Structure 1
Amino acid sequence: MESLKQIHIGTFIEKRVKETNISLSRLCNYFNCDGRQIENMYQCEFLDSHIILKWSKILNYDFFRLYTQHLILYSPQQSMGYNSTSLIEKSGLPEFRKNIYTKEIILFIMELLETNIKTKAQVIQEYNIPKTTLYKWFNKYRNLN
């Protein structure tokens, strides 16, 4: 989970390609490029969103979830109100009512607690996880890690 602090998308894509055993020729046909260009994408820390979307489709993996998990861990929703003194205007964008806590994030938080790297109070404050949610996780997941 620590690798989500600094996301190198090419590394994640290359790992998934190896897991799925998709041939280089199939990837080249799909992206309409040569093998050298595919290898170059593996070296990229950043890729355009439409390229990431194509990788997500061919590899059956939501690479955007990596960024979502990063936002949940390192920039929780409430801390994203950059200027809390100004009036918050209604956005035309969809509003998300709940954070998406994946099992990986929950286990990461549980590991921090069980290894005494962070206290419950620190986790609540730093990751903006509601106290009741954290206690529910603790009761449900503390023996799974």
Structure 2
Amino acid sequence: MNFKNIHIGNLIEKKVAESEIKSCRICQFIHCTEDQISEMYKAPSLDTDLLLRWSKLLEYDFFRLYTQHLILYAPPGAARRNPVKNASSPLPVFRKNIYTKEIIDFILELVTTGTKTKPEIMEQYKIPKTTLYKWISKQSKNNG
């Protein structure tokens, strides 16, 4: 899965085909016509409310694709550039450095196939050296 360039309409269309949900049920749940659904399949992005409906209907968290993108491609220092001193935000605070199994597998695949070197991965994805080597060590124990 390429987390850098997400074409959400294409991914939804694939999940619909996999789930074998009839178009009449989709139209009823999403509140749209079949032509509108076809247009959504072609759309690289969708409104969040609409994406939430698709996620519920297909029982798949499409938002996680964007979260994975943020983990891999968002600069980690961005939050520190404009620090807000002693201000409490009404928004919930999430830890950015939580790596899912999919992300770990993606990174390990890059290493094992030789697509990227360990230093390139640490630099591009801002993954700490100890974390990367811990993943590699666990992988070799599981495969060996």
Q: 1:5: which partner in 2?
A: 4
* Cα distance, 1:22–1:87 mapped onto 2, change above 3 Å: closer
Which string of whole-angstrom CA distances, capped at 9 and with x for unpartnered residues, describes residues 82-137 of structure 1? x73x5444433222235332222111111211222222222112111122211111
Does residue 105 in structure 1 map to residue 103 in structure 2? Answer: yes
Q: Are the equivalent residues in 1 in contact too, given 2:10–2:41 (CA < 8 A)?
A: yes
**What is the match of residue 62 of structure 1?**
61
- Matching residue of 1:17: 16
Contact 2:30–2:54 (CA under 8 A) maintained in structure 1: no
Give the length in aligned residue pairs: 140
Unaligned runs of 5+ residues in structure 2 are: none
8 Å CA contact retained: 1:107, 1:141: no
CA distance in 2, matches of 1:98, 1:66: 14
Residue 38 of structure 1 aligns with which residue?
37
The answer to whether the aligner puts 1:71 opposite 2:70 as a matched pair is yes
1:74-93 equivalent positions in 2, closer than 5 A: 74-76=73-75, 78-81=76-79, 84=81, 86-89=82-85, 90=87, 91-93=89-91
Distance 2:116 2:128 in 1: 16
Could you tell which deviates more after superposition, 66-75 or 122-131?
Answer: 122-131
Q: Share of identical aligned residues, percent? A: 54
Deviations 1:3-48 (A, max 9, x none): 2211111001000001111100000111222111111110111110
Runs of 5+ unmatched residues, structure 1: none
- TM normalised by structure 2 equals 0.86
In structure 1, what is the Cα distance between the partners aligned to 2:58 and 2:139?
30
